[in-house]
Structure 1
Amino acid sequence: MRTTHLGLAAAAALALLVTGCASAQPGGTTAPTTTADPAPTEIAPTETAPPAPTDDGDDDAAGTPIPDDRLAGLDVMDAVSTDGAAAMWAEPGTSLAVFIGGSGSSACVPAPESAEVEDGTIVVEFEAPDLAAISCTADFRVYGWTFPVEVDASGPVDVRVEGLSPADDQVVELTVAPEAVLP
């Protein structure tokens, strides 16, 4: 037991001695020098995050993305797969959540543009990407956004989703019930 403690003490002393000698240079100071990398500096991101919603009354009409962790807990995949889109209230009458499906390559997914109320129907506009110009993966996932709206949500509200494909005639007709609210 005593030899083990002496051996450890000798090894530690040798390590300190080697470190001190390695840093001393002839004609220089005996203070140890470091070769560690400098502290990292913050680098500006190459991609910008979508703008965060504000409470100044000027809502983002182009839609606010619903985070992936929140999407994972929603049961909308079947509706999106079957109908092409799904909708429910984020806040009844003031904020509509719209879900679409698409490739895991986000550049291949239609981009939300606006949501407006026309004659009691909420019309949500998307812009489909030019799929001939990009390469997309074959996986399928759900994307979602919330849109500010002003409509009476005491009864079912019709929703029309447009622009999910380059063909202008593709429209998804949905109805949102008053009780269909994001959990």
Structure 2
Amino acid sequence: MADGDWDIVGRIPMRDFLAINSSCTAVTHIYRDMLPFDTCEQFGIMRDAISAGSFQDGWITRGCKTTDEIVFYFNKLNILHRDMRCRGFKTQKELGVPLGEEINVAVDRNGEFHKQEGEGNHRLAMASLLKIERVPVVVRRVHAAWVREQMREYRSDMLTAINLGFAGVVQAHPERDARG
């Protein structure tokens, strides 16, 4: 829970996030446009970081230290996409990923979900591309003003109010799903 203007300054609606994040645009590039993965922006960013010796930022290189490891990484995305297309969206636990993170989202002062950097960008883009209606998410940040509003509305403690508020948002606004 956080106060402040982070939800105004850093707000990225889901659809916009899908269009600008390099992990998301890689999915569009590869699976919608059917272009080779080594021509997408993310591949280039990863390759350039490795060439410059910038392994410290795991978000950029995804743990890869060589071009061959980048190729392996993108081949794993192919497997994930094929599995999601055939079997639907699976949680990290269902995929057998130890301590895996689900898609990270934030809830702003108006109770609207939006994406911030963090886990699940490829999976979110794949789910959107495959028109999967709903996916599990982890709410990483909730605006304090929305929490206070929920506590007043539901006349309950913070956790109960948040849970009731989330249920109310989804029921009242079913369009607030993986596609934003």
Structure 2 length-normalised TM: 0.22
* Larger strand proportion of the pair: 1
Higher relative contact order (CA 8 A, sep 6+): 2
How does the TM-score come out when normalised to structure 1?
0.22
**Which has the higher Rg, Structure 1 or Structure 2?**
1
